[in-house]
Amino acid sequence: MADHDAPVWFITGCSSGFGRELVKQVLARGWKVVATARDPAKMADLVQGFEEQALALPLDVRDAAQVEQAVARTLERFERIDVLVNNAGYGYQSSVEEGEDGAIRAMFETNVFGLAGLIRRVLPVMRAQRSGFVVNFSSMAGIAGNPGTGYYAATKFAVEGLSDALAKEVADLGIKVLLVEPGPFRTEFRTAVQREESRIADYEATVGARLRAISHPSTAPGNPIKAAQAVLAAVTADRPPARLLLGRLALQNARDKLASMQADFAAWEAVTLGADDR
């Protein structure tokens, strides 16, 4: 993060959930923040009393003109951007077979293309500063897909790959990249998820059973306040991680995926190596 005392954070999706809690934590530390959301009225209480530190702006990350305007207003007000947090996004539930094309593409526009567009706009600022931190919210779904959320997982797998590549591209420029991979948290995320009701009985034991199991966000173990604190700890660490898993279920999900991959690698090693000419 920046060396000066009041780094400037630019955070998307601040009307609720992780984004909202991050704004509170940043302001509590005396830092500066640009809080963005499609409806800035939902952030009015967040910035009230912090007029010198905070700026609330409308932003739909799919709208290139709004992205340009939001970044320009940030630079006009604070002259720099030290931390970009790409938190805006939403989910979609259906079997892969029953996914609706328009809804799938709309989710990709926000979760992937909107995120990438904002990164492209902010990177020239960070390159000129020779410092900066890009924080991309992924999910435990970006590590392993599960029945009923395959298309959402696909967007988060895209964010993971993009972030891996970006981290290597900007490592020599003083810019760092962090992937945040939460498990289930008590936020409004699940209530805002778009869902297609399954009509194919063959998926009842997989898609149907899982979607029923995850349909109660109030029982999720994750605390969004603690999640925001964890993100700040990672960003301010002397040696920040490339990935930050949040919650026991996210950690277990990642370990199970790694164990499954390693088992396949070992079992099929001879076949794998035999694919080379030498």
203 is catalytic: no
Nearest to 194 by CA among 90, 271, 109: 90
DSSP string, 14-76: TTSHHHHHHHHHHHHTT-EEEEEES-GGGGHHHHTT-TTTEEEEE--TT-HHHHHHHHHHHHH
Q: From the candidates 152, 176, 198, 203, which is the catalytic residue?
A: 152
**Two structure tokens written together for 126:** 């960070």
Q: From the candidates 15, 95, 138, 163, which is the catalytic residue?
A: 138
Q: Give the containing element (helix H, strand E) for 262.
A: helix 248-267
176 is catalytic: no
Nearest to 233 by CA among 86, 130, 162, 135: 135
277 DSSP 8-state letter: -
Query: Would you tell me how many other CB atoms lie within 10 Å of the CB of residue 267?
Result: 10
Q: From the candidates 32, 94, 131, 156, which is the catalytic residue?
A: 156
**Two structure tokens written together for 150:** 């395959």
Collapsing DSSP to helix, strand or coil, 99 comes out as coil
92 is catalytic: no
At residue 117, what is the residue type? G
25-47 per-residue burial string, b: 16 or more CB within 10 A, e: under 16 = bbbeeebbbbbbbbebeebeebb
Q: Which residues are catalytic?
A: 138, 152, 156
